[in-house]
């Protein structure tokens, strides 16, 4: 069984290596290889996850020949393995769901570049999940950013390039802060490995000499990662990036890339700084306030949007607000709720993006609401999938969104009054706002189109039959299943998250 412990390393290396390999492949081979890599990593993560559940103890894996505190380390616990598994599944589903669009929208010569980016992204996500070394984390944060930028601009248009530029600017601000924070932290503690930093910080904090720089560095790290994960008001790049890139990119960006940073932040909370110190330093309160703002403002922006993809993108802003609100509650329950919401949002948002793509296909490629009227009839599967996703976002019971809201509320009522009331009120307001724009869209999808159909640029709206796109429809079914699974069997998942957080300890 010792062999299984190599799996995190294998999966990072496999995806990183195949990124390089893909550059000499043509489209078909690259696609095949990419699917293979994703599947292989999924299987490895699944095996590791089951193994970790059995073992019940985290382990560290020495990279190279130097033991801690000098060498580089990978660390895997049950939460890391589970996250890796989940990220792989969502990525695989998003890739498969958008495959036709990738074929259609990306030039032949650039197709393998796309798969390179996906492989790099996967490797950096895995590394962010598994690494036990802060500087490695920084390097992979950058790799993540660069490959995400590639994903945005692979579909060449003014909008995507502009979005990519905005994304790069915001991300550079974030990574600059992150790097500076790490350097100061390194300066204070003299370590780069998370476990060692934590010991030093615990010591330094009790001494009380370096508290101001310590809090400043933690603050810089938090703000840096918050900027990178598009917390309101740092979200300006997001709607364009998600709205105009190819479907798979949008799905992966919204459901995984920002979540990778959030997971890193949670890891830093628990593994680097120690949760007590984080709560004590009041930094969580800042995250809390911005999280609440994001919840409301994201939804308000989404309501005013007239483009389905951008609407879903703005809803991501709101959902990221939820996650930061959970982190900001400053309790373990809040973190559990946030992690659950990471899962729930990842599965729902990818579903929504992929379904929206099917709907726009059935409406002559237009994303505007007027043209989408009645598209639920023209592409039935996408219509159902979008409705399901919308139900989950609105928080209808039995879908994953309800459970995460429930967990947030549960976490909130255990808090003091000053945090409980704003949380519950914002939760209620934001849910109603969610309901407004998602239900408005669903009704539009199922409103029969009036006789004088406006011809769109790409031609007449076409009926998309179920049989023509077996892969697309199959993917949608799997995504719905994943969502309902999260909504119905949430208890084991919540238990798993709690045990994972305990393993962080």
Partner 1 sequence: MNYMILLPVVLPVIVGFALLFLHEGVFRDRRGLLKVTGVSFAVSAALALYVISGAAGDRLILFRLVDDIPVYFAVDDLGRLFAGVVVAVFLLAGFFSFVYMSHEKNEKRYYSFYLITFGVLMGLCFAGNLVTLYLFYEFMTLASMPLVIHNGSKEAVMAALKYLFYSFCGAYMALFGIYFLYRYAIVFENPGDALNGTHYYEIAHMMGFVPGGSLDMAAVVESGNATLCLVAVFLMLVGFGVKAGCFPLQAWLPTAHPVAPAPASAFLSGIIVKGGILAIIRTVYYCVGVDFLRGTWVQTVWCILAVITLLMGSSLAFKEKILKKRLAYSTVSNLSYILLGLSMMNAAAFTGSLLHVVFHALIKSGLFLFAGALIFGTGRVKVKEFAGLGKKMPVLFWSYTICSLGLIGIPPTSGVISKWYLAEGCLESGIAGLSWIGPVALLASALLTAGYLLPLAVNGFLKAPLDEEALDKYREPAPCMLVPVVVLAAATLLLGVFPTPLMEFVGGIAAALK
Partner 2 sequence: MGGNLLANYGEAVAMILFGIGFSNLLLQKNLIKKIIGLNIMDTATYLFLAEKGYIAGRAAPIVVDNVTSVEAYINPVPSGLVLTGIVVSVSVTALMLSLTIRLYRRYHTLDMDEISTMLKKEDQ
SS3 234: coil
Site residues (CB under 8 A) for partner 1, limited to 357-396:
391, 394-396
Helices 400-413 and 380-394, packing angle to 10 deg: 10
Task: Candidates 90, 192, 337, 479: give the one binding partner 2 (CB under 8 A).
Answer: 192
Residue 97 beta carbon to partner 2: minimum distance, rounded to whole angstroms: 26
Upper half-sphere CA count for residue 317 (Cβ side, 13 Å)? 29
Instruction: From 33-41, 87-95, 138-146, 198-206, give the range in contact with partner 2 by CB under 8 A.
Output: 138-146
Q: Which residue, 176 or 397, is less far from partner 2 as judged by CB?
A: 176
Any contact of residue 296 with partner 1 (CB under 8 A)?
no
d(C-alpha 222, C-alpha 179), whole Å? 11
Q: Which residue, 68 or 168, is less far from partner 2 as judged by CB?
A: 168
- Residue pair 41/14 in contact by the 8 Å Cβ criterion: yes
Residue 329 beta carbon to partner 1: minimum distance, rounded to whole angstroms: 14
Any contact of residue 39 with partner 1 (CB under 8 A)?
no
Count each helix (H run) and each strand (E run) in the chain, helices first. Answer: 23, 2
Any contact of residue 354 with partner 2 (CB under 8 A)?
no
d(C-alpha 172, C-alpha 296), whole Å? 26
Task: Candidates 35, 63, 72, 142: give the one binding partner 2 (CB under 8 A).
Answer: 142
70 Cβ neighbours under 8 A, 6+ residues apart: none
Q: Which residue, 46 or 168, is less far from partner 2 as judged by CB?
A: 168
Residue 444 beta carbon to partner 1: minimum distance, rounded to whole angstroms: 8
Task: Candidates 21, 40, 55, 146: give the one binding partner 2 (CB under 8 A).
Answer: 146
Any contact of residue 463 with partner 1 (CB under 8 A)?
no
Residue 273 beta carbon to partner 2: minimum distance, rounded to whole angstroms: 20
Give the per-residue contact string, 91-130, with partner 2 (x = CB under 8 A; - = no): ----------------------------------------
Report the largest interatomic distance among the alpha carbons of the chain, rounded to a whole angstrom. 76
Any contact of residue 427 with partner 1 (CB under 8 A)?
yes
For residues 467-503, one letter each, b for 16 or more C-beta atoms within 10 angstroms of the residue's C-beta and e for the rest, the string is eebeebbebbebbbebbbebbeebeebbebbbbbbeb
What is the DSSP annotation of 317-372? HHHHHHHHHHHHT-SHHHHHHHHHHHHHHHHHHHHHHHHHHHHHHTTTT--BHHHH
d(C-alpha 86, C-alpha 251), whole Å? 14
Instruction: From 116-124, 165-173, 275-283, 412-420, give the range in contact with partner 1 by CB under 8 A.
Output: 412-420
- Residue pair 309/302 in contact by the 8 Å Cβ criterion: no
Residue 360 beta carbon to partner 1: minimum distance, rounded to whole angstroms: 21
10: tokens are 């294998």
Residue 496 beta carbon to partner 1: minimum distance, rounded to whole angstroms: 13
Residue 70 beta carbon to partner 2: minimum distance, rounded to whole angstroms: 8
Any contact of residue 63 with partner 2 (CB under 8 A)?
no
Any contact of residue 68 with partner 2 (CB under 8 A)?
no
Task: Candidates 9, 10, 59, 186: give the one binding partner 2 (CB under 8 A).
Answer: 186
- Residue pair 200/191 in contact by the 8 Å Cβ criterion: yes
Instruction: From 193-201, 349-357, 428-436, 451-459, give the range in contact with partner 1 by CB under 8 A.
Output: 428-436
**What are φ and ψ of residue 442, in 5° steps?**
-60, -40
Q: Which residue, 110 or 440, is less far from partner 1 as judged by CB?
A: 440
Any contact of residue 165 with partner 2 (CB under 8 A)?
yes
Any contact of residue 180 with partner 1 (CB under 8 A)?
no
Any contact of residue 162 with partner 2 (CB under 8 A)?
yes
Residue 486 beta carbon to partner 1: minimum distance, rounded to whole angstroms: 12
- Residue pair 232/319 in contact by the 8 Å Cβ criterion: no
Any contact of residue 179 with partner 2 (CB under 8 A)?
yes
Bridge pairing between strands 72-76 and 59-63: antiparallel
d(C-alpha 168, C-alpha 118), whole Å? 17
Any contact of residue 187 with partner 2 (CB under 8 A)?
yes
| CA-to-CA dists, residue 258 to 54, 263, 321, angstroms | 30, 9, 12
483: tokens are 């969502």
Q: How many CB atoms lie within 10 A of CB 457?
A: 8
d(C-alpha 495, C-alpha 8), whole Å? 22
For residues 36-66, one letter each, b for 16 or more C-beta atoms within 10 angstroms of the residue's C-beta and e for the rest, the string is ebbebbbebbbebbebbeeeeebebbebeee
Any contact of residue 424 with partner 2 (CB under 8 A)?
no
Any contact of residue 491 with partner 1 (CB under 8 A)?
yes
List contacts with partner 1 (CB under 8 A): 391, 394-398, 403, 405-407, 409-410, 412-414, 417, 424-425, 427-428, 431-432, 435-436, 439-440, 443, 446-448, 488, 490-491, 494
List contacts with partner 2 (CB under 8 A): 135, 138-139, 142, 145-146, 149, 153, 158-159, 161-162, 164-166, 168-169, 172-173, 175-177, 179-180, 183-184, 186-187, 190, 192
């Amino acid at each position: 069984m010792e062999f299984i412990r190599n799996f995190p390393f294998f999966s990072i290396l496999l995806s990183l290596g195949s990124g390089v390999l893909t550059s000499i492949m043509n489209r078909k081979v690259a696609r095949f290889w990419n699917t293979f890599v994703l599947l292989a990593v999924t299987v490895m993560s699944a095996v590791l996850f089951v193994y970790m559940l059995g073992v019940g103890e985290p382990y560290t894996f020495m990279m190279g020949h130097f033991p801690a505190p000098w060498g580089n380390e990978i660390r895997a616990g049950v939460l890391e393995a589970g996250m890796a598994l989940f990220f792989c599944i969502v990525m695989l589903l998003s890739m498969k769901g958008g495959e036709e669009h990738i074929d259609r929208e990306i030039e032949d010569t650039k197709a393998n570049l796309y798969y390179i980016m996906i492989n790099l992204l996967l490797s950096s996500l895995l590394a962010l999940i598994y690494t036990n070394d802060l500087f490695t984390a920084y390097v992979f944060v950058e790799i993540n950013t660069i490959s995400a930028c590639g994903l945005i601009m692979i579909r060449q248009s003014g909008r995507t390039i502009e979005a990519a530029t905005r994304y790069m600017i915001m991300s550079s601000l974030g990574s600059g802060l992150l790097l500076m924070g790490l350097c100061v932290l390194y300066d204070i503690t003299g370590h780069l490995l998370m476990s060692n930093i934590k010991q030093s910080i615990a010591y330094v904090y009790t001494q009380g000499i370096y508290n101001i720089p310590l809090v400043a560095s933690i603050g810089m790290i938090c703000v840096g990662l918050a900027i990178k994960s598009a917390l309101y008001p740092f979200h300006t790049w997001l709607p364009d990036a998600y709205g105009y890139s190819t479907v798979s990119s949008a799905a992966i960006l919204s459901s995984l890339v920002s979540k990778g940073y959030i997971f890193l932040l949670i890891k830093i909370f628990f593994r680097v700084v120690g949760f007590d110190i984080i709560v004590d330093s009041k930094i969580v309160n800042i995250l809390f306030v911005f999280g609440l703002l994001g919840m409301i403002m994201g939804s308000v922006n989404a309501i005013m949007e007239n483009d389905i993809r951008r609407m879903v993108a703005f809803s991501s802003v709101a959902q990221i607000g939820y996650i930061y609100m959970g982190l900001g509650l400053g309790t373990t329950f809040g973190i559990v709720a946030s992690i659950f919401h990471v899962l729930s949002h990842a599965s729902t948002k990818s579903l929504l993006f992929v379904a929206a793509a099917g709907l726009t296909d059935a409406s002559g490629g237009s994303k505007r609401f007027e043209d989408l009227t009645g598209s639920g009839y023209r592409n039935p599967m996408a219509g159902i999938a979008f409705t399901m996703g919308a139900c989950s976002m609105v928080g209808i019971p039995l879908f994953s969104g309800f459970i995460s809201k429930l967990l947030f509320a549960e976490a909130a009522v255990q808090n003091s009054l000053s945090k409980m009331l704003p949380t519950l009120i914002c939760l209620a307001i934001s849910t109603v706002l969610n309901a407004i724009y998602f239900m408005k869209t669903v009704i539009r999808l199922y409103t029969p189109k009036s006789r004088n159909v406006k011809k769109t640029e790409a031609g007449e709206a076409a009926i998309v039959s179920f049989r023509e796109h077996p892969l697309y429809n199959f993917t949608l079914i799997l995504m719905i299943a994943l969502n309902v699974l999260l909504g119905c069997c949430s208890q084991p998942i919540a238990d798993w998250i709690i045990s994972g957080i305990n393993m962080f300890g």
